Amino acid sequence: MKTKIFLIVLILIILTIISFFIWRFWSRPSFVDGTPYLRDHSGISKWQTYSNKDIGFEFKYPPDWKIKSDPAFNEVITLEIADLTQKKVFFPFGVEDEYIYPIYTIHFQIDRKKYFEDMMTDNHYDIQKIELNNINTYQFKSAAAPSSGSAIVSLLEKDGRYISVTYIAYAHVETHFKFEHVYNQILSTFKFID
């Protein structure tokens, strides 16, 4: 009888562990040969498309993310979302220090060729080269964000043109990478256009 109960408990534990790993990894992007392999759980086909014909690139992004660009500084396009489902975090860079809801940001920085080439020459960032939609992509983590963790930077290069795509979060340590999967999905839709 004890052996039977032991076997039932052991099977339940094994099933629980297997269920956890299926849940944990099924919903996250995985990489095949360095390229994100993404299941369309979030409806990428319904995402909006940002296209910049002057600079020559486009990407898709979720409709609940706000896109911003500053006409005075047209080298940066920013996607941003505030997560109102979390408790506020201390934000130390305002005119006055304040508590705000966590903010997740993806910056597209345009064509700073010399800066990027210097960065790759002086590889103290542990830059990794990956293939992304036939685009040479260099990826690394940069300095820690003020509240929670490092930024993820991807440098996309084609014909001597560079665009950096950076994931930054002002969030709690445990939720800093909450939208990393969205960052990877956006990267998977990126295209240089002529």
Q: What is the pLDDT along the chain (194 residues), one digit of tens a residue?
A: 777 776 676 676 776 666 655 544 444 333 333 334 344 444 787 899 999 888 788 999 999 999 987 666 667 889 999 999 999 887 666 555 678 889 999 988 876 666 666 666 665 667 788 878 888 888 888 766 555 678 888 888 887 778 889 999 988 888 999 999 999 999 999 998 87
Task: Tell how many helices (H) and how many strands (E) occur in the chain.
Answer: 3, 14
Read off the tokens for 15: 């099933």
CA distances from 42 to 20, 39, 46 (A): 21, 8, 9
Q: What is the pLDDT of residue 119?
A: 65
pLDDT at position 129 is: 83
CATH class of segment(s) 33-192: alpha beta
pLDDT, position 50: 92
Q: How many residues does the chain have?
A: 194
Q: What pLDDT score was predicted for residue 121?
A: 65
As beta bridge partners, residue 57 has 52, 192
- Count the neighbouring beta carbons within 10 Å of the beta carbon of residue 31: 13
Residue 79's pLDDT is 93
Asked if 171 and 89 count as a contact pair (C-beta separation under 8 A), the reply is yes
Q: What is the pLDDT of residue 159?
A: 79
